[in-house]
Amino acid sequence: MLTSDRRLFLAAAEDPSTLRPDGRELCLEARMANRHGLITGATGTGKTFSLQNLAESFSALGVPVLLTDVKGDLAGLCRPGAPSGGVAARVDELGLRAKGYENRAWPVCFWDVFGEQGHPLRATVSDLGPALLSRLLELNEVQSGLLDIAFRIADERGLLLLDLKDLRSMITWMTENRGEFLSYGNISGASAGAVLRALTRLEGAGAEAFFGEPALALEDLFRTDLSGRGYVNILASDRLMLQPRLYATVLLWLLSELYERLPEAGDTDKPRFVLLFDEAHLLFTNMPAVLLEKVEQVVRLIRSKGVGVYFVTQNPDDIPDSVLSQLGNRIQHALRAFTPRDQKAVRAAAQTFRPNPAMNTERVIAELRTGEALVSFLDAKGAPAVVERALILPPEGGSGPLRAEERREILAASPMQRLYGTSVDRESAYELLAREQEQRREQAEARPARGRKEERSLWEEVARGAAKQATRSMTSAIGRELGRTILRGVLGGIFGGRR
Ligand SMILES: Nc1ncnc2c1ncn2[C@@H]1O[C@H](COP(=O)(O)OP(=O)(O)OP(=O)(O)O)[C@@H](O)[C@H]1O
Ligand SMILES: [Mg+2]
C-alpha cells in the first residue's frame, strides 16, 4: 500500500542532473490535504493519471472523494489496472512492487445528472437557490430580481419549489396575480416571460432531470467499503461538460451544500471528504464578480469543515488569483512554450512555486515528459515545500471507459439504485397552484348563486395545503425544505441567500 495513515505517497523525486529517480518519496501530508490543490499541464501530459492517483490514495486512507469524469476514462478504476508500455516501465523504474504497489479495483459509485451513466444526481430548485439559478438561466439583473421575489413568496407561503415545473407555475401564477404582490417589488410580465423562456431552454437541454427528488443526501457520498476504503464517487461529466453553465452550477451547488451542511471539523489528521474537479476552468468562465467572491469565500472556509478541493486544468492562469492562492498542494505537468504567449504563461506558472536553487523552474516546465511533474506539497507546518522535479506514480486501478453492460451491473448492484433510481413527484407548488387556480374558476362560476360570503379567501386553500405539508414534515423530507428556508435566513446563504 502506498499510503500510511499520515501521508499519501504520490511521486518520487528525480535527480535533475541525471533524470533518474533518486529514491526520495514525495508525499502529501494527510493533515494538509484540506489545504486544497491544483493539477495543471498541457493536454496529454498526465493530469488525469495524477488525479486518479490522488483519488486512489485518499480512498486507501479511508477518505471518500467525488471526482468529475470528463472523458469517461476514470470509470476504469473500478477494476484492477493492467500496466503495459510506459506505465509498466514506470512501475519497474521506481521499484514500486517492492513498496506495496498492487493492481487493484477501487470501490466506486457512479452518478449522473442525466441519470444515464450513474445514479441520478438531483437537487431541488429550492436547494439551488436563486443566485445559482439566475446564473444557470443567464438572467439579467431585473429578471434575477423577479426570481428572488418568486423564492420569497414561495418561502413565505410554504410552497415547495422542487422541480422546474414548480418554478414555472410559481412564476406564471405570481405574474397573473401580481396585484396581490405589489409590496414585493415590480413583477413585470416581460421579465416573467424572459424567465419562462430561459426555463424552456434549460428543459430543452435536458437539464430538468437534475431538478427534483429524491435529492442527493450528502451522507451518501461519504461511504466507506467493508475494508474501510473511501468510496470514489464518479460524476459522469462527458455530456454535462458540453453545458458548461450546468457543469459549473452542479459543482458550485455541491461545494455550497458541503459548506452549509457539514459541522466544523477543526484540525484533523485527514480530510473528511475530497472533491476533484477536472476541466476546472469551466467553473470560472464568465463568472460574475459577486459569485466569484462567494466561491473564493467557500473555498477558503470549507477547509475548516475538513473538505479538500483539487482543481485540474491546463494552466494555472485558468483559475482566478483569489482562488489560486488558496491551493497549497501543486502538481505541474509540462506546458508548451512555443509562442511568446505560451512563454509568458510558463513564466507565470513557474513563479507560483517556491524556487529550488538546483533547478531553473521555468525551463524545466517546458522539458517535462509525460507523467513527470514539478511538485510542491505543503509541509507538516503548512509551508509550501521547495519545488521538485518528480515522477508521478501510476494508479493501481484500471483506466479507460467501461462497457455499457459493466456499468449497468455495477449500478444495479449498488444500494444507491434503490434510493435514487426512481424519481418522485410529490405535492409541491405546481400541484397546489393548479388546484388554487381551479378553485378560483369554480368560485367565479358559482358566485351569483352562492353569494360572496361563502367565497373562500384567496389563500385559504394554499394555506391549508401548506399546513398539511407542515404536519407531514415531521416524518418526511419536507422538514428539510423548511429547515432550508431558515438556514438561508441565518447564513444569508452562500449562493442561495435571500437578499
Ligand atoms: N504517472 C504516469 N506514469 C506513466 N505513464 C503515464 C503517467 N501519467 C500519464 N501517463 C501516460 O500518458 C497518458 C496520458 O495521460 P493523461 O490521460 O493523464 O493525460 P492528461 O494530461 O489528462 O491529458 P488530457 O488533457 O488530454 O486529458 C496515459 O494514458 C499514460 O499512458
Ligand atoms: Mg485528462
Strand 20-29 with 232-236, pairing: unpaired
Cα distance between residue 268 and residue 202, in whole Å: 41
Q: Tell me, yes or no, whether 141 and 185 share the same domain.
A: yes
Instruction: Write down the pLDDT at residue 489.
Output: 33
Cα distance between residue 45 and residue 312, in whole Å: 12
Contact assessment for residue 65 and residue 388, using Cβ atoms and an 8 Å cutoff: no
Strand arrangement of the beta sheet that strand 307-313 belongs to = 20-29, 7-15, 388-392, 372-376, 329-332, 37-40, 307-313, 273-277, 65-69, 232-236, 108-112, 119-120
Give the distance (Å) from ligand 2 centre to CA of residue 443.
62
CB of 47 sitting under 6 A from ligand 1: yes
CATH assignment at residue 403: 3.40.50.300
Q: Work out how many domains the chain is built from and give that number.
A: 2
Sites in the chain below the pLDDT cut of 50: 450-459, 461-462, 467-492, 497-499
Nearest to 223 by CA among 432, 415, 19: 415
Pocket test for ligand 1, best of 47, 49, 50, 237 (most atoms within 8 A of CB): 49
Q: Which of 415, 448, 467 is the last residue of a domain?
A: 415
Q: Which of 415, 440, 474 is the last residue of a domain?
A: 415
Strand 65-69 with 329-332, pairing: unpaired
Q: Tell me, yes or no, whether 232 and 349 share the same domain.
A: yes
Instruction: Write down the pLDDT at residue 17.
Output: 83
pLDDT single digits (tens) 35-48 = 999 999 999 999 99
User: Closest residue (by CA) to atom 6 of ligand 1?
Assistant: 371
Ligand 1, closest atom to CA 312? 22
Q: Tell me, yes or no, whether 202 and 140 share the same domain.
A: yes
Residue 64 lies in a domain: yes
Amino acid letter for position 432: L
Cα distance between residue 132 and residue 495, in whole Å: 6
Structural domain range at position 431: 125-211+426-491
Q: Tell me, yes or no, whether 234 and 110 share the same domain.
A: yes
User: Closest residue (by CA) to atom 16 of ligand 1?
Assistant: 46
Residue 499 lies in a domain: no
CB of 394 sitting under 6 A from ligand 1: yes
User: Beta-carbon neighbour count of residue 363 at 10 Å?
Assistant: 11
CB of 271 sitting under 6 A from ligand 1: no
Q: Residue 42: nearest ligand to its CA?
A: 1
Looking at beta carbons, which pairs linking 344-350 to residues 24 or more positions away fall under 8 Å? 345/315, 345/317, 348/316, 348/317, 349/40, 349/315, 349/316, 349/317
Cα distance between residue 221 and residue 278, in whole Å: 18
What predicted TM-score, i.e. pTM, was given to this entire model?
0.89
pLDDT single digits (tens) 146-178 = 999 999 999 999 999 999 999 999 999 999 999
User: Beta-carbon neighbour count of residue 242 at 10 Å?
Assistant: 10
Q: Tell me, yes or no, whether 116 and 131 share the same domain.
A: no
